[in-house]
Amino acid sequence: MSELAVPSGRPARGLMALLHHARYVLSENPVTAFAFGLFLLIITAAVFGPLIVPYDPYASNTAMALKPPSMAHWFGTDQLGRDIFSRVVVATQLDIFIAVASVVLVFLMGGLAGVAAGFFGGWTDRIVGRIADTIMAFPLFVLAMGIVAALGNTVENIILATAIVNFPLYARIARAEANVRREAGFVMAARLSGNGDGRIVLTQVLPNIMPIMVVQMSLTMGYAILNAAGLSFIGLGVRAPTAEWGIMVAEGAAFMVSGEWWIAFFPGAALMVSVFCFNLLGDGLRDIVDPQRRT
Amino acid sequence: MTTLPLLDIRDLTVEFSTRRGIVCAVERIDVSVGKGETLAIVGESGSGKSVTSYAVMRILDRAGCIAEGTITFSGIDLRAASESDMRNLRGREISMIFQNPRAALNPIRKVGHQIEDVLMQHAQAGSQDVTAKAIELLEQVRIARPRERYHAYPFELSGGMCQRIVIALALACRPQLLIADEPTTGLDVTTQKTVMELVVELTRQRGMSTILITHDLGLAATYCDRVTVMEKGHIVETATARAIFTAPEHAYTRRLMRATPRPGVSLRDLLPEDAIARPTAQVLPIAADKTPLLVVEKLVKEYPSQGASRSLANLFRRGPAPESETFRAVDGISFSIGRGESVGLVGESGCGKSTTSTMIMRLTDATSGLIQFDGADIGTIPAKSFARLAIRKRIQMVFQDATDSLNPRFTAARAIADPILRLGGIKGRNAVRARCEVLARQVGLPLDLLDRFPHQLSGGQKARVGIARAIALHPELMILDEPTAALDVSVQAVVLNLLQELKETLGMSYLFVSHDLNVVRLLCDRVLVMRAGRIVEQGPTNQVLHAPEADYTRELLAAIPHPTFEPESNHARSA
């Protein structure tokens, strides 16, 4: 039987296959590899930051205030003599936590609502669509400010605000993708196999729109970091002594005019690098999770 | 032909760089097409026939490159031509019709405008007459109600109509060379006939040359002057159509011809002579019970016939809405299927055969009528709740497009296991796996392929996975919705034999939905011929196909392109 000729190489399985595939994608695409390197660095800083930093990020030392970068203080010190390097590294944890939590939250809310809207259509679609429209009608950052101002200046509320602001994006992407697949042969086949609608959504439709959602999650990570930092910058986020990039930029901004550029510069650079990293990562992730690329 | 050929391909080698190194898709082939000549390139999937045409158009994807050889088109070296020269040639001088019409059309643009775009792009029409010309083109490709269809979007049209639009696009600028890549694969036989005749007519009228890339030997024989047979990137044989069909030289050509369904052969005849006969298991005795398994009476399905634009218009219109706003896809059909019987449901696209099968499958609700399965009225159960009923597993289906019907993120084993897990009542990982393996053996799918994803399987393998999934629950009635339409003839031959064998061993009844009378002839006991939602003729297969009563059946039969050449070489003979 000629058609049984094997079209591709050995069948690989599970985790090993994924690792192989990841290695292939990384070696094919050095930019992705670079982004992954940065990502690992950020994660390391987020997890082990408090353990590895040379100074206590909250210990002030007025004798050492406003010192430019040196061998002792790589990123210099701020107006209270706190070591900026330590503060930037420690802040990673909070910023990444806010970003990850809000992205997961928005994926659960927006992604599932969108899939349901696209798959079931009708009233579900209308309701989800109108909610998304309503959110879109506000200037997003102002909406986030409003939510935090109304609910209170806590980390949870920053997460919630960031998630709500991103809701329409997720709902719409998931809706469009699910809608295309609603009539797909494999969905019909699943129905014939005795799957109910709920199961079809979760096992057939959702896994197939994961690649695009993962890319979206990575891209929104960058946005979520910026959003959290932005809220803190204008004083609506995390409060002052806490090490957080947004506040640090805000604090340093006052000193820019008098020439102490490093106070705002390094947390700003950390923000930029992490946003950049997540944006690059999005594309790389898509290649890894997309089965079509796994030839 | 004394003059230079219009298109001359010498020593062409096309390579693709993939993860596993460089793959040669086409190796050192020579093809030439004279002015006004029609050449068919015949081969099965993966033979490199499409790649050859992409190389000519210089539209190989990034991984592919022309490694060697020359391509000359009326004196121009296409390999060396600049991209802007190529853009000028494409569409105006060399046009191409693609395999998948839906992919070739812009889904968000009205088809009329897409035709206009081409006309304007190549300055074939001015802004005054462009609409008229576009409608004229729609007429030429036999689109009914062209003025109305001009405003249609591709998704509103059937696959056949989309392909006709694509053909209209390709012919819009009256090119010198038309490359038709499986142009009629998704089309009805009668449409295929009109389209091919149109292409042939234009070829003659304007001295246009055509390369017809097809897997269908019959089509190549009927409409082409010369035929080139390709296998795995090589040309195995090139000869005149007549020579190749009366005296094929190469073994591969002979095998291909053998696998093509045609009148007067049985299913077994399609397989290669040396095929090992699979030991046929004992044939289940079919219950002597004469009550039919499935009875369908006066089945009707209506759809609202207007698009969104009309409903918007309704908002602003005063007075009652006009009558007859529904379209009857299925218009009161009645038939029955006995136990162990296979019934062919034949008709062209849009005749309602797919709607009928989805209604019987209980994926759609009927507007009215009776569907009785084994004495139980299943037509009244809403499609939504049918999925969870026990009766679900007694009616299963094999889908037309094996690729589309497999979840890309499920392995073959997971796909086959799905119905077993839901309705099969088999518990435990190992038991389910064991059942999958039994099924895989039954459909002839090698066990090591079970852990692959659909995109790692060939078309035939995917078809087998689909069949395995359908028989997993021992259904009594199986609906086969053109299960072989997307397969190569040799694979089709194997799959058809497999289906026949499974029917005998498992005692299933088949409703075989198809547009291909030659395939129906092989597999079915009885045939229903449908047209525009009604059954125009039904009866035993032999009677319907040899002594058709309805004009429409005769028309269908006449439209089948015939691979065998009469000694007098008379074209397009009818059965």
- Return the residue of A nearest to B474 by Cα: A193
Q: Which of B407, B446, B459 sits opposite A204 (nearest CB)?
A: B407
Task: Say yes or no: B224 and B106 in one domain.
Answer: no
Asked if B161 and B254 sit in the same domain, the reply is: no
**How is residue B246 written in tokens?**
């009366």
From A3, A185, A204, residue closest to B460, measured CB to CB: A3
- Residues of B within 8 A of A10 (CB-CB) are none
- Cα–Cα dist A209/A178, whole Å: 7
Judge: B363–A191 Cβ closer than 8 Å, yes or no.
yes
Residue pLDDT, tens place only, B284-317: 555 555 678 888 888 888 887 654 444 555 555 5
Question: What percentage of chain B exceeds 90 in pLDDT?
Answer: 8
Least CB–CB distance from A3: residue in B405, B422, B491: B491
Residue B366 CB burial class (10 angstroms; 0-12, 13-18, ≥19): buried
- Give domain status of residue B284, yes or no: no
Domain-located, residue B15: yes
| Interface membership of B302 toward A (CB under 8 Å) | no
Interface subset of B 407-446, CB within 8 angstroms of A: 407-410, 415, 418-419, 422-423, 444, 446
User: What digits encode the pLDDT tens for the residues B407-438?
Assistant: 988 889 999 999 888 888 788 888 999 999 99
Residue that the structure tokens 């775009």 belong to:
B117
CA distance B156 to B108: 11
- When CB atoms are compared, the residue of B361, B422, B494 closest to A195 is B422
Residue B461 resides in a domain: yes
B453 in contact with A, Cβ within 8 Å: yes
Q: Which two tokens stand for residue A100?
A: 């990850």
Do B240 and B335 lie in one domain? The reply is no
At residue B125, does pLDDT exceed 70? yes
Domain match, B144 and B251 both:
no
The predicted pLDDT at position B247 comes to 83
Report CA B210 to chain centroid distance, whole Å: 21
* B392 touches A at CB < 8 Å: yes
Contact A192 B419 (CB under 8 A): yes
Residue B487 has pLDDT above 70, yes or no: yes
Residues B417 and B365 in one domain: yes
Q: Looking at the domain assignment, is residue B572 inside a domain?
A: no
**Domain range enclosing B144:** 99-174
pTM, full prediction: 0.75
Superfamily of domain A98-295 in the CATH hierarchy: MetI-like (1.10.3720.10)
Residue B460 domain flag = yes
Residue B411 to residue B427: CA distance in whole angstroms: 19
How many CB atoms are located within 10 Å of the residue A182 CB?
Answer: 15
Q: Considering the domain boundaries, does residue B67 fall inside one?
A: yes
Chain B partners of A186 at a C-beta cutoff of 8 Å?
Answer: 404-408, 410, 415
CB contact under 8 A, A193 and B456: no
Most confidently predicted of A102-106, A196-200, A290-294: A102-106
* One domain, residues B495 and B469: yes
User: A25 vs chain B: nearest CA distance in angstroms?
Assistant: 10
Q: CA B549 to CA B207: how far, in whole Å?
A: 40
| Helix, strand, coil fractions of chain A, as percent rounded to 5 | 75, 0, 25
**Is B396 part of the contact surface with chain A (CB cutoff 8 Å)?**
yes
Same domain flag for B448 and B367: yes
Same domain, B65 and B116: no
C-alpha A2/C-alpha A7 separation (Å) is 11
Average pLDDT estimate for A125-151 = 91
Query: Of the candidates A13, A189, A291, which has its C-beta nearest B409's C-beta?
Result: A291
Band (pLDDT 50/70/90 cuts) for residue A7 is: very low
What pLDDT was estimated at residue B228? 92
How near does any CA of chain B get to the CA of A115, in Å? 16
Residue B171: which pLDDT band, with cuts at 50, 70 and 90?
confident
**Which chain B residues contact residue A213 at CB under 8 A?**
none
Dist. CA B339–CA B511, nearest whole Å:
11
Whether residues A208 and B409 touch (CB distance < 8 A) is answered with yes
Nearest CA in chain A to B44: A3
* Residue-level pLDDT at A97: 92
Contacts of A26 in chain B (CB under 8 A): none
How confident is the model at residue B570, as a pLDDT? 43
| Domain of residue B68, CATH code | 3.40.50.300
Rounded to the nearest angstrom, the minimum Cα separation between A122 and chain B is 15
Q: Which value does ipTM take for this structure?
A: 0.73
Domain boundaries, chain A: 98-295
pLDDT band, very low/low/confident/very high, at A104 (cuts 50, 70, 90): very high
pLDDT at position A100 is: 92
- Are residues B220 and B135 located together in one domain of the fold? no
Residue A133 to chain B, least CA–CA distance (Å) = 21
Query: Cβ contact (<8 Å) for B423 and A193?
Result: yes
Nearest-CB residue to A3 (from B451, B461, B470): B461
Q: CB distance from B47 to chain A under 8 Å?
A: no
DSSP H or E segment with residue B418: helix B412-419
Band of pLDDT at residue B564, cut at 50, 70 and 90: low
What is the least distance, in Å, from the CA of B330 to any CA of chain A? Answer: 20
| Residue A262: burial class (beta carbons within 10 Å; 0-12, 13-18, 19+) | buried
Q: What is the number of structural domains in chain B?
A: 3
- C-alpha B405 chain-centroid distance: 15
DSSP per-residue codes, B180-243: EESTTTTS-HHHHHHHHHHHHHHHHHHT-EEEEEES-HHHHHHH-SEEEEEETTEEEEEEEHHH
Q: Closest chain B residue to A208 measured between Cα atoms?
A: B409
Element housing A279 (H / E): helix A262-289
- Which tens digit of pLDDT belongs to each residue from A241-280? 888 888 888 888 888 888 888 888 888 999 999 998 988 8
Say if residue B537 is in the same domain as residue B455: yes
Q: B481 φ, ψ to 5°? A: -95, 90
Tell whether B220 is covered by a domain: yes
In terms of domains, do B107 and B219 share one? no
Residues B50 and B22 in one domain: yes
Task: Identify the contact set of chain A against chain B, taking CB-CB distances under 8 A.
Answer: 1-5, 7-9, 11, 13, 24, 184-186, 188-197, 204, 207-208, 210, 291-292, 294-295
**Mutate which of A18, A186, A288 to test chain B, going by most B C-beta atoms within 10 A?**
A186
CB contact under 8 A, B361 and A5: no
Nearest to B399 among A11, A185, A210 (CB): A185
Look at B456 and A11 and tell me if their CB atoms are within 8 Å: yes
Residue B5 touches partner A, C-beta closer than 8 Å: no
Name the minimum distance, in Å, from the CA of B201 to any CA of chain A.
37
Question: Is position B574 within any domain?
Answer: no
Residue B455, chain A, CB below 8 Å: the answer is: yes
Mean of the pLDDT values across residues B80-88? 86
Edge to edge, the sheet with strand B326-337 lists B326-337, B294-304, B368-373, B376-377
Residue in the block written with tokens 């940065």: A38
